[in-house]
């Protein structure tokens, strides 16, 4: 019996107002978006293949450009986020947060039917492999404070200001 072989990830870098974003996935779905700085940095592994002309990345790049221009509020991309069932449940809930709105970690925990799992929701949110597209930046502290974000708090502030209509200058 032959073992199934998963092809290596393909990747490219896409310029943005918050620095170059690493896009990674396979032909049919996006699996990672990595920031240029912060704890959300993703670097290509040795077996990853650079594929800047991949249709998936071209489509993602066009949608990211439209988002940063303020003309796209909902991404329509094939996604394949990795994680536990609980993490994927949190990622699905994140995708229901409307553009320009924020919720607290406690709100998100209640939404998934786990009101006492606020810390676990925060941890799952922090492991989001597809930031921006799965809008983990829209989750804030119960008191309205900005809390951790893989791209750093200045990037989170930039994204929230962009979505609120406040003219946000590029960070780079």
The residues carrying an active-site annotation are 136
Q: Under 8 Å CB-to-CB from 1, ≥6 apart: which residues?
A: none
Q: By C-alpha distance, which of 82, 83, 96 is closest to 29?
A: 82
Count of CA atoms in the C-beta half-sphere (13 A) of 171: 21
Chain centroid, CA 25 distance in Å: 13
- Give backbone dihedrals phi and psi of 83, rounded to 5 degrees, phi first: 155, 175
Three-class SS of residue 75? coil
Looking at the chain, the number of H-run helices and the number of E-run strands are 5, 6
């Amino acid at each position: 019996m032959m073992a199934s072989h998963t092809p290596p990830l393909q990747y490219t870098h896409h310029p943005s107002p918050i620095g170059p974003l690493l896009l990674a996935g396979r032909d049919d779905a996006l699996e990672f978006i990595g920031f240029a700085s912060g704890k959300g940095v993703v670097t290509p592994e040795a077996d990853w293949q650079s594929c800047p002309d991949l249709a998936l990345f071209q489509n993602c790049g066009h949608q990211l450009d439209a988002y940063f221009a303020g003309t796209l509020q909902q991404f329509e991309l094939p996604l394949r986020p990795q994680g536990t069932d609980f993490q994927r449940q949190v990622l699905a809930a994140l995708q229901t947060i409307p553009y320009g709105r924020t919720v607290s970690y406690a709100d998100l925990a209640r939404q998934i039917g786990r009101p006492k799992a606020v810390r676990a929701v925060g941890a799952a949110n922090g492991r989001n492999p597809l930031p921006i597209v799965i809008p983990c930046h829209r989750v804030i502290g119960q008191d309205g404070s900005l809390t951790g974000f893989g791209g750093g708090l200045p990037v989170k502030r930039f994204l929230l200001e962009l979505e609120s209509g406040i003219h946000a200058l590029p960070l780079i």
